[in-house]
């Protein structure tokens, strides 16, 4: 996807992961758009390129989204440790 007004902030592994991240960012009032191959959703693919779903936000919300995603990643890592 090539749109100067949107910025890629996350690549999710499958539909469920994309919805988790989308809802997380929306809970902070951000506008979130997801794009992926429909065949990945239809067959439940998560580990192949067809299962990859890209998550975008408007350019003006990119910094805020990346901040929240870093907090999310840091939290997930600390729980694994």
As a whole number, the mean pLDDT across the chain is 84
Contacts of 48 (CB under 8 A, 6+ apart): 40
> Locate tokens 């009032």: which residue?
29
50 contacts 37 by C-beta, under 8 angstroms: yes
Looking at residue 81, what is its pLDDT? Answer: 57
Three-class SS state of 24: helix
Give the number of C-alpha atoms closer than 13 A to the C-alpha of residue 17, restricted to the C-beta side.
19
pTM of the model: 0.80
Class of domain 6-80: alpha beta
Each residue of 12-61: pLDDT tens digit? Answer: 888 888 999 999 999 999 999 999 865 655 566 556 666 688 999 999 99
Looking at residue 80, what is its pLDDT? Answer: 63
Domain residue extents for the chain? 6-80
> Residue 63 is inside which H or E element, if any?
helix 62-80
The conformation of residue 29, written as its DSSP 8-state character, comes to T
């Amino acid at each position: 996807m090539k749109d100067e007004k949107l910025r890629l902030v996350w690549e999710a592994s499958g539909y469920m992961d994309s919805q988790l991240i989308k809802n997380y960012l929306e809970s902070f009032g951000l506008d979130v758009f997801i794009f992926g191959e429909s065949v990945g959703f239809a067959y439940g693919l998560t580990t192949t390129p067809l299962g990859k779903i890209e998550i975008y936000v408007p350019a003006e919300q990119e910094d805020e989204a990346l901040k929240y995603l870093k907090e999310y990643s840091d939290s997930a890592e600390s729980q694994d440790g």
